[in-house]
Structure 1
């Protein structure tokens, strides 16, 4: 009888130990799975000119993205990442017209370089120092490639003609609760797969309480950029971007300068209305505004973009009215007559996951 009881006790103890071990393993697996992240977005839109031709001869502002006529595709953005305590990685892939425009200089070598938006590994050396190695989106400018993080669906001239991405090594330093510093050495601008020139670009960023002063030095050219924003009230936000780029005259690269303001008013929990007002100028036929210039090769544009953003769960609907007024007659009206202004309408749908 005692032997039977003892045997049953051993069985119960064994089963209990097995249950605890299995639970611990499953808990460990769940903990490890939580370190992996999978996110992204898809976007599509409708675009029409209000004072210029649509269809085959459709025109668009000289800025990137949301430039195709009629019902058009943005991109599918798929981001996989691993967030470890010390190390991790991000693989950010893009598919579609917006992604193609963002990775315009690739592929340089690989057959699939035009789908890699970002691809980098990082190491949290300490609580205040992080090293990042690989291909990462630019630290300059107010706007970004993903439409999820931009308030306006179309993009500014300043964003479109600054760099999109870099490949190299950067170090981020948390100097205090308010101050941050970033230093980087990178391939020349837009060379994201490898370096065929043997030259390198240098980057720096100084941050203070959400305001950032950026510097990029690249083979005889340099760009100074300020990006920031202020919560003026619980419902009113004002963003700011100002930049100056001085190109290398020996390589025939012109210069540009501009400033953009982003006032945004939240009228409810699910709707915000915002305006982007931008002035942008260029020299030496830089190419942002058009191919028709005055005798000294300079041109400028003033653009107003009014955007509404309605949130329905993970879906954002953005109606947008944009007016571009250039110093030169770089647009063509419906009768084929050159004109200096273009008005357009965009309706975009963005789903993020």
Structure 2
């Protein structure tokens, strides 16, 4: 029993250490490398030069903080969506939620002339919610009802439609195009120190709602009838889950763009690690693990994007898609998934 308790603690410790190391590397590496000891001195308020202080505090601390918060939001929303639908293909990007939020932002900027983050973040929430409802309605059509593959196909169709509408707006509006090109590929660049603080309340509320769903999600995994017999109010649980997904995805997309596949890949990795640690499919562990693993992936992709194309950079969303695309294809081709 002692060994079983130690393994989850060890897993969390190792993931926390990996995240801390990546955060340090994110502050140190880029177009201009800063030695780690100088980064630590700058964080302590004793920067060796004004240049180091500006690089660390003005450019890289906001960028790293944004990767931490937005990455955790996307990972948590993906894990929540997969658990809520019992669908291993569920992901805010694959199921059109990110595309809905992105289209709503472009609509706000290009048509209504809203350029402030606090202005268009509400449109991101609305777009995410509408896209979620439409995909679920389409995925549930037909005699067989909702299946993982049908839901994924509905998500792809809605995503394609929304991207076509988005392109139609940005091609005819210079302001919308200027805003769109920075975050369409999932960009963490050009972040100021106020960006995280502006969306943090939305992300915090979404995270609390998501984590509060964990016990009910364990019951839902046994089936709706069993969950209802255990006293779970299924409608309330699903409403709470949709609210959490909308807040987390809408806020994350508003600040970093429609980064896809994080919510798909990370929960599967979390389940593998949880199984190895003897935790099992307990959502009380899987949701927090996904919230830690997602920023690890996003920060690693961001660092790699800065290094492989210096002095320019490749957007983090491009590298995440490069990893997630093959993973998505492998998931669809799995025999046991095709039989669901």
Question: When the two structures are superposed, what TM-score results if normalisation uses the length of structure 2?
Answer: 0.21
Please identify the structure whose Cα radius of gyration is greater. 1
Larger strand share, 1 or 2: 1
Larger helix share, 1 or 2: 2
Higher relative CO (Cα under 8 Å, sequence separation at least 6) belongs to 2
